[in-house]
Structure 1
Amino acid sequence: MRQKIVIGTRSSKLALWQADYVADCLRKKYPGLIVEEKKMTTKGDKILDAPLAKIGGKGLFTKELEAEMLEGGIDLAVHSLKDMPTEVPDGLVITAITKRFDSGDAVVCPKYKTLDALPQGARVGTSSLRRRAQILAVRPDLELIDLRGNVNTRLKKLDDGEYDAIILAVAGLKRLGFGDRITEVLPKSMCLPAVGQGALAIEAREDDKEIRDMLAFLQDDETTRCAAAERAFLETVEGGCQVPVGVYAVPSDGGVEVEAVIASLDGKRRFRDKVKGEWNDAEALGHQLANRLLDAGGIEILHEIGLLLDRK
């Protein structure tokens, strides 16, 4: 068995928490194993003065780690699954998806507490087109402003008065010990999450069977099956993380139910639907739901924001 493993990770506090979590799991599973972490900076970490949608949505937080892995500088990389493009580079695979922690979106608003209580014209910070579109669908009067930086930076901007409220992932806040800052969790009926939100993806070289075997215990089958449906949906609409779509799959009656939405950036047009089927058909259900929403009118919305669709 391998005596030493090197994990590649971004340098943000949340990314380091995620890498530390996997490292601790490996050390407990394999006593005596040396686990090191190599910190790296990705394009998404470097460019903080522009909206994510303008600097490209695919692989913003993964490409540098993947290149280092292919060159043999690291053995594996730990990512937020929601940051993973649907296409993984040749030679690499997602070898384990961990149990989903919490898929929700959180409102952090010390003064008004909830989205509904915000006054007309309130300034709300988010870096996500998905959240922007779904929030504007119910509160078109709000001013949605781009918000970049790590979790600590975003909270400081809120505390400094730059925003009346900010929207962040529940999982990230709780993992960093900021769960007490959450003043509301947006209901799924209003805001569907990003693909795989709340789960971690562990990526490794496809031909490194030893590492992949060592990581197998981290795989959560239920989360993996749900993620397959969600990623199939995203693959069909050909979107990266900066696409105004939300999708969420959950176990249901011995099978799986997948619900998704495609919304215009101003929230005025929404196409939302759900499908249910057998566990073994999770991926097919994701594709089916995507095509249904695209045919209903979602494809026009995506074309309008400059996405090139290839519905194979």
Structure 2
Amino acid sequence: MSTSTRQRPIRLGTRRSALAQAQSGHVAAALEKISGRPVELVPIVSEGDTNRASLSEIGGLGIFATRLREALLAGQCDILVHSLKDLPTAIPDGLVIAATPVREDARDVVITRDGTPLHRLPAGAKIGTGSPRRIAQVRIRARRAEVVDIRGNVDSRLARVESGELDAVILAAAGLSRLGSETALQREELGLAEWPTAPGQGSLAVETTADAASDLRAALAELDDENTRLAITVERAVLEGLDAGCQAPMAAHAVVTGDAVRVRSVVYDPAGERRIGLDVTESLNRGYIRSHGSSNEADAADGATLTLAARELGISVARRLLEQGAADLVPREQPL
């Protein structure tokens, strides 16, 4: 690597929201240590930042990613950092997800003023969320409550609970952690067994161009966590196999332990009247695959084989959900 290349900043494209800036800042700091190059944030305004309509009305599909990807392809930045749960399953030509860092807490959190558990909130309690999946889950767990469709950043949502406008909001635990949000409000962590979350929740995706410089790709590869990548590959393959958008009322959460991967997936009726779920554990044969490779090229091939096995598992789970009637519950994914 030449001296000029080593010193040229890596340009990281990011949304302007406080959470996006915080997420990008974590990745930038890690990448600076690995690459020895400065990383500068390039703020980009996405449609999701300017369109204040409900996510359920505008579909949610790619609303936070499209403008950023256009900037990346146009050479306005070198890499992007996304919340993986906001990414459509189809990756545009010319782009690759080069790294999925270690996953944060994938759970949802209920925020209230007094710590009343979600299922004990009184009739008429107002619970704020803009996610069709969370709306369906609330209608199952707190049937007497009223769901309020909301948008806005974390601080504005917390403020609506503090003021008494809402009795509770549901947020991603990872977002609260990355922002370092401090509040006197009470929180209830929702267990993933009973309350699975969106495919990729808690995970970040670092995206770059397919023809990015080899030294940049190598540095990004060091940010990648294999267990996270395999788990989110399974989850996103379930979403892909259902042919549903990333705002569909469905959940999928996978955990990789050794050679085994366990995936819990549920598809919800938006009204909360019906749900179809699967809890599957299968082997990825990682030990066998690893024993047949020793060179760098073999290691790369092993990673591709494992990723393919993870994707096939997710597609299989989706197929089984469809066979049980999930097609009647999820809206079909619409092209951009």
Fold shared, TM-score > 0.5 on shorter chain = yes
The Cα offsets for residues 132-177 of structure 1, whole Å up to 9 and x where unpaired, read as 1112112221111111011111111222222100000001011111
Name the residue aligned to 1:40.
44
- Preserved CA contact (<8 Å) 1:233 1:287: yes
What is the distance in 2 between the residues matched to 1:212 and 1:254?
Answer: 27
2:62 to 59, 62, 66: 59
How is 1:258-297 mapped onto 2 (pairs within 5 angstroms)? 258-279=263-284, 280=306, 281-297=309-325
What is the distance in 2 between the residues matched to 1:309 and 1:4?
Answer: 37
Q: CA RMSD in A?
A: 1.7
- Preserved CA contact (<8 Å) 1:258 1:274: yes
Q: 1:207/1:137 Cα in 2 relative to 1: closer, same or farther (>3 Å)?
A: same
What is the distance in 2 between the residues matched to 1:187 and 1:75?
Answer: 37
| 3-state SS, counterpart of residue 218 of structure 1 | coil
Name the aligned partner's letter for residue 293 of structure 1. L
1:218 to 223, 230, 238: 223
| 3-state SS, counterpart of residue 222 of structure 2 | helix
Q: 1:227/1:308 Cα in 2 relative to 1: closer, same or farther (>3 Å)?
A: closer
- Preserved CA contact (<8 Å) 1:41 1:64: yes
The Cα offsets for residues 97-119 of structure 1, whole Å up to 9 and x where unpaired, read as 01111000000001243102211
Please state how far the C-alpha of 1:209 moved relative to its aligned partner: 3.6
1:134 to 125, 133, 137: 137
What is the distance in 2 between the residues matched to 1:204 and 1:179?
Answer: 33
2:212 to 208, 214, 217: 208
Name the residue aligned to 1:307.
332
| 3-state SS, counterpart of residue 108 of structure 1 | strand
Q: Percent identity?
A: 40
1:93 to 96, 105, 124: 96
Name the residue aligned to 2:294.
none
Name the residue aligned to 1:165.
168
Runs of 4+ more than 4 Å apart: 179-182
| 3-state SS, counterpart of residue 272 of structure 1 | strand
Name the aligned partner's letter for residue 50 of structure 2. K
1:17 to 15, 18, 22: 22
Larger Rg: 2
Instruction: List gaps (5 residues or longer) in structure 2.
Output: 285-305
TM-score if structure 1 supplies the norm length? 0.93
What is the distance in 2 between the residues matched to 1:309 and 1:12?
Answer: 26
Please state how far the C-alpha of 1:54 moved relative to its aligned partner: 0.8
- Preserved CA contact (<8 Å) 1:133 1:267: yes
